Amino acid sequence: MQKDAKIYVAGHRGLVGSAIVRKLQSEGYTNLLLRTSTELNLTNQAAVQKFFSEEKPDYVFMAAARVGGILANNSYPADFIYDNLMIEANVINASYQSNVKKLLFLGSSCIYPKLATQPLKEDYLLTGSLEPTNEWYAIAKIAGIKLCQAFRRQYGCSYISVMPTNLYGPNDNFDLETSHVLPALLRKFHEAKINGQSNVTVWGTGTPVREFLYVDDLADACLFLMQHYSEEGIVNIGTGVGLTIRELAQKIKMVVGFEGELLFDVTKPDGTPIKINDVSLLRSLGWEAKTDLDSGLRLTYEWYKNQYK
């Protein structure tokens, strides 16, 4: 990509989009197209087509999505599948119509079957049943992958799809009803410390194993792949290293400085038992994550404290 190329980052105020913007700006890309959801409703096909025909971006980072944790996915299944299907279909089709040179679509590791062999390889896609607590989101993301592959096959479009593992970092969602596990725990421990609580309760048994990637590392990987990869096959992005939710909670407890007790509500769902991305393909291309979990947690907590004083 030329430094003055017109680059549209869809979802630029979210966790992933904002990290991609930071990365692009730090690398000297100066011509970024950014629109808030009030300025451009991506579920509105006519509005999206008008934007693309007028602005004609050269490159697209497709980071816009409706996202959330187990509670949000279970509570709003229609919103999760409809909004994500509409957003990706509108942006991908408009990219084709306006001759976008290359598009990167961000999926999620939840696209893989619930009981797939670990670690998760790219070719496990569509080989088994999904995790029921987030199948609405997963099905929408699978449709986005297939859209990219279909436009590549039929029209020769250079559209690629990447599957990040669980993400965290600045601009994450810390709402306890709709957030993912890491930001939810960070907020819970912070508020428990401030309020002098004697304990913090974590959903589930604490035994599920998860992998976490600092979002600025993801942005670095996305730019790397936009520059060095153009194949139909999806690419996992992650660290390849997992830990239990109990271990994660203990790390966050230590970073926050909460000295109370850690409790587990076993009546709440655990989700997939283990979920770690196989990142062999990405490593073979020449990219590896740089930020270890302890460092990333400290950076995220400092950002959270400054943001929510």
Name the active-site residue from 137, 168, 214, 304: 137
Residue 61: name the closest of 134, 148, 122 by CA.
Answer: 148
- Strand (E) or helix (H) holding 245: helix 245-256
137 is catalytic: yes
- Alpha carbon of 235 to those of 22, 59, 244: distances in Å? 22, 18, 24
Residue position matching structure tokens 């655990």: 270
* Rounded CA separation 302/255 (Å): 10
Please provide the size of the chain in residues. 309
Using DSSP's 3-state secondary structure scheme, residue 221 falls into helix
Q: Which residues of 49-77 are buried (b: 16+ CB within 10 A; e: fewer)?
A: eebbeeeebbbbbbbbbbbbbbbbbeebe
Residues acting as catalytic residues:
137
